[in-house]
Structure 1
Amino acid sequence: MGLIELLGLAGSVSLLSGWRLYATVLITGLAMRSGWVPLPEQLQMLDVLANPWVLGIAAFGAVMEFLADKIMWLDSIWDAIHSLIRPIGGALLALAIVDPGDPTWQVIAFLLGGGAAFAAHAGKASARAAVNTSPEPVSNLMVSTAEDVATAGLLALAIANPVIAGVIALGLLILSIVLIAFVGRTVKRFFRRTRGPDPT
């Protein structure tokens, strides 16, 4: 696996950690345990994901996240709790993918992986908070299901073709940043309207 493929894999896994950390760890670990992902020498550190204890904890977390993400406002509480956990998870996964013999690349991977996971998490949390303002629960369920499908699909693509997955992950990262900016402007406008005109 060359540098471009490693970057694509690291970027995809980091971004997906910002959406579904536990599912990302679980699917990657199962792929390694079943032999779908033959690990090159520099990725042997990721073999820990195939450990039965890690898989069990990831499976439990994935089920809890799946259920919490389908319930209006509980999803936002879950996102708030994971505001630190997801970026750290994304950073550690990206760190595990790069060559351990190159400290420079390790620092770069850790910073970019954590940044990508945080941006994806913030974009997801912002979008879901906006969706939660809708009085009906169907839109929340639809968005959550779309995130589940996108996570599984992009992770499968990252395993099969890391370069294409990396390009898609970059596009989704840009979309996440745009979402954060859009929701931020919308919230500011909302608070300006509710405050009313300045009495002075």
Structure 2
Amino acid sequence: MDEYQQLIGVISLTMGVAWASGLNLYAAILVLGFGGSTGGIELPENLQIVQDPAVMLAAGLMYAVEFFADKVPGVDTGWDALHTFIRIPAGALLAANTVGDVSPALQLAAGIVGGSVTSVTHAAKASTRVMINTSPEPVSNWLASISEDVAVFGGLWVALNHPVLFLIAFVAFLFLLIWLLPKLWRGIARIFRKLGQWLGLVEETREAIEDPSAPASSPLSPSKGAPRKTLVEALQGLEAMHKSGALSDVEFEQAKASVIAEHQLA
């Protein structure tokens, strides 16, 4: 029974560290370092390096910088983009060092899984921030940043003290990401498409996809002299754009209804 509880504790710590690193790497290091140095956490030998004062000082300094950068609209997105190359490898390294004295193969496996968890968590955080930055007010950025910090501190505490509860919540979090990430990426694609239109990098005819009620500029309703597409061809074009993420579910249904109505009146 003790071995089973120890295994659950190691898995919880490994996944907790990887998950927290995707949200705020420096806060995760501070939690582990402070807990280990005060005796509140018994860290694996390979992970005890985070208790070193130099490591904690560096993590504290970077956490202070991120605390402010993460709350400025636009700056937070740039910060997340830069930390794609920092959080993911660091999360994988921390996860690999949480499994203790095991074979190199198991340590590598823990690093691979941990790096993957850090990647999807970081992707969800960065994608959400891009969507939040479309709002003109800064309050939503502050709330998101503070919520992430609280989640890191609270999540690691649960992972260390109630590993079974953390793993249940972690599995629910993964299912939520599977459902949420495609929607976030479609939303981001629409944002960048609109930015491209404003900058003149994308043809204006794409605007009609956002507003299917504008038949004059719709690529499915060509101008005079152009060959008219059949209903099947038009619907196939819409279906292809829907599958590629260029159209959301709602936009696809609206565009489809508009095209069908147009062909019925023709």
> Under a length normalisation based on structure 1, what TM-score does the superposition of the two structures give?
0.91
Other-structure match for 2:239: none
Alpha-carbon offset, residue 176 of structure 1? 3.3
Other-structure match for 1:83: 84
Other-structure match for 1:100: 101
Task: Give, in whole Å, the separation in 1 of the partners of 2:95 and 2:160.
Answer: 14
Cα contact 2:132–2:140 (8 A) shared by 1: yes
Task: Give, in whole Å, the separation in 2 of the partners of 1:73 and 1:188.
Answer: 17
Alpha-carbon offset, residue 146 of structure 1? 1.1
Q: Which moved more, 1:171-180 or 1:22-31?
A: 171-180
> Does 2:161 match 1:160?
yes
Identity percentage of aligned residues: 37
Cα contact 1:18–1:87 (8 A) shared by 2: yes
> Under a length normalisation based on structure 2, what TM-score does the superposition of the two structures give?
0.69
Alpha-carbon offset, residue 156 of structure 1? 1.2
> Does 2:14 match 1:10?
yes
1:141-184 CA distances to partner (integer Å, 9 max, x unpaired)?
Answer: 11111111111110111121223223223322333343321111
Other-structure match for 1:172: 173
Q: Give the SS at the match of 2:36.
A: helix
* Long gaps (5+) in structure 1: none
Aligned partner (choices 28, 32, 41) of residue 28 of structure 1: 32
Number of aligned residues: 197
Other-structure match for 1:121: 122
1:40-98 CA distances to partner (integer Å, 9 max, x unpaired)?
Answer: xxx11111110000000010111111111111111001000000211111101110011
Other-structure match for 2:49: 48
Deviating above 6 A after TM superposition, structure 1's stretches of 4 or more consecutive aligned residues are: none
Give the structure, 1 or 2, with the largest relative contact order (CA under 8 Å, sep 6 or more): 1
> Does 2:61 match 1:60?
yes
AA partner of residue 165 (structure 2): I
Alpha-carbon offset, residue 5 of structure 1? 1.5
Alpha-carbon offset, residue 189 of structure 1? 4.5
Question: Considering only CA atoms, is the larger Rg found in Structure 1 or Structure 2?
Answer: 2
> Does 2:133 match 1:135?
no
Q: Give the SS at the match of 1:84.
A: helix
* Long gaps (5+) in structure 2: 198-203, 208-217, 227-266
Task: Give, in whole Å, the separation in 2 of the partners of 1:15 and 1:85.
Answer: 14
